Amino acid sequence: MADNTTTPQAAQPNEQLTWLDRLIGQWQVSGGAEGTVTYRWAEGKFFLVQDIDLQQYGQPVVGFEVIGREKPFGAEKPGDDLKSRYYDSLGNTFDYVYDPEGDTLTIWAGEKGSPAYYRGTFNPDGDTLTGSWTYPGGGGYDSVMTRIK
């Protein structure tokens, strides 16, 4: 008698997640916020974790962000967008959508297409990400991340 059972195929990280490999490591941040951020993969490489230790507007901001494709309870497959949730020492929680393309990373505040976003470009060696945060009605700030580890 033939065995008609099938073993579910293990999920694999997609191309968008693989793109985030270039963020792995510790970075020195300068511009409107100053300090360090460190990116590391959570077990399985489905979620990237960012540890944040910055000074912004004269105030320390310590937090973390989890970046990946959402797969709600009961879903058969994850969503298409790379979404994140950020938590900090001030009690804030912010949602973002990461939108990598070529050497450019756009981080939309809230939803894709939001008027509040970050857009930065990697230099050819991949050790510097230069860009700026844009806020509706003006504002925002320049930001440079330089890999230190």
DSSP state letters, the chain: ------PPPPP---HHHHHGGGG-EEEEEEESEEEEEEEEEPTTSSEEEEEEEEEETTEEEEEEEEEEE---TT-SS--SSEEEEEEETTS-EEEEEEEEETTEEEEEESSTT-SSEEEEEE-TTSSEEEEEEE-TTS-EEEEEEEE--
The whole-number pLDDT of residue 14 equals 67
- The structure's pTM equals 0.87
In this prediction, the residues of the chain whose per-residue pLDDT falls under 50 are 2-9
The whole-number pLDDT of residue 149 equals 87
pLDDT tens for each residue of 5-37: 444 445 666 677 889 999 999 999 999 999 999
